[in-house]
Amino acid sequence: MKIGVFDSGLGGLTIVKTMLENLHGADIIYIADTANAPYGEKTQKQIIDFSAKITQYFIDKFHIDALVIACNTATSAAIKELRVKYKNLIIIGTEPGLKPAISHSQSKKVGVLATPATLNGEKYKLLRDELSRQYKVDIFEQACPGLVQQIENGELDTPKTISMLQNWLSSMREAGVDAIVLGCTHYPLVGESIKKVMHNDINLIETSHAITKRVNELCNNSMKCDNENSLKILSTGKISGSMVEMILGKKYEVEHINI
């Protein structure tokens, strides 16, 4: 089973790591579109264009059977168009885990950290409004411009990153938020820093296991359980090899491509 996975940078590797640990017989090809990062500050039209070009590259070069959009922003902006254009391709997106966050919250106060594009997405807004009414929960949203770049640069707990998080999280901490949705696949990489800033036991909700489960459900008949997984990493621009190694736990060569 050939599975294409893409994100604007390193963040989607948090999903790839979970896939490698839990799937069997998958050939995974990962594209980090660092030349166009960060997606969260681009227009919807730009994100759709990036996503369509990457999907076509996967199909032409690797003949993929399934596509995982390992990016909340790209999912929000482009998944509808990609499913219309590529009707025969299994396409799995990434969405903020609002519902599991609500189920974990005792205070009924839930935080959402995401990119501006994700928070402004129509699908997210509809889900947020529906769940907040249904479960009578207060949702505190915070866009985090610049955090993806900090993570891409390996600055996971530097004074600058901690200062940014303190600025964004102080109101959530004071309000008694006890569950935070990590609405960007990069953000689990600063999970420990978020916990430090929140000063308490906070539930951090990310969706890598849910996505891997969905991949397994949709692709299981095509994957051979006795085969090992494989991973090929490609990048359209600069990428930190040491960060790739830190996320995945081993060293991988990264091939530069033009799309």
pLDDT by residue (tens digit) across 86-108?
999 999 999 999 999 999 999 99
Predicted confidence at residue 221, as pLDDT, reads 64
**Residue 257: its pLDDT value, please?**
97
**pLDDT, tens digit only, all 259 positions of the chain:** 999 999 999 999 999 999 999 999 999 999 999 999 999 889 999 999 999 999 999 999 999 999 999 999 999 999 999 999 999 999 999 999 999 999 999 999 999 999 888 899 888 999 999 999 999 999 999 999 999 999 999 999 999 999 999 999 999 999 999 999 999 999 999 999 999 999 878 999 999 999 999 999 988 766 566 678 999 999 999 999 999 999 999 999 999 999 9
Q: Which of the four CATH numbers 3.40.1000.10, 3.40.630.10, 3.30.470.10, 3.40.50.1860 does domain 2-94+208-256 have?
A: 3.40.50.1860
Q: If you write DSSP's letter for every residue of 155-207 in order, what string do you get?
A: -SSSHHHHHHHHHHHHHHHHHT--EEEEESTTGGGGHHHHHHHHTS--EEE--
Both tokens of residue 211?
A: 């996505």
Which CATH architecture group holds 98-205? 3-Layer(aba) Sandwich (3.40)
pLDDT tens, position by position, 175-188: 999 999 999 999 99
Q: Which of the 8 DSSP states describes residue 259?
A: -
Q: Is 144 tagged catalytic?
A: no
Would you list the domain boundaries of the chain?
Answer: 2-94+208-256, 98-205
pLDDT, position 226: 63
pLDDT of residue 20: 96
Q: Dihedrals φ, ψ of 176, to 5°?
A: 90, 25
Give the pLDDT score at 31: 98
Which amino acid type is present at position 136?
Answer: K
Instruction: Indicate if 71 belongs to the active site.
Output: yes
| Residue of 144, 184, 219, 225 with catalytic role | 184
Residue 228 to residue 215: CA distance in whole angstroms:
16
Q: Looking at the chain, list the stretches that DSSP marks H as alpha helix, in order from N- to C-terminal side.
A: 13-22, 44-62, 72-85, 98-104, 116-119, 122-135, 147-152, 159-175, 191-198, 208-219, 241-248
pLDDT at 225: 60
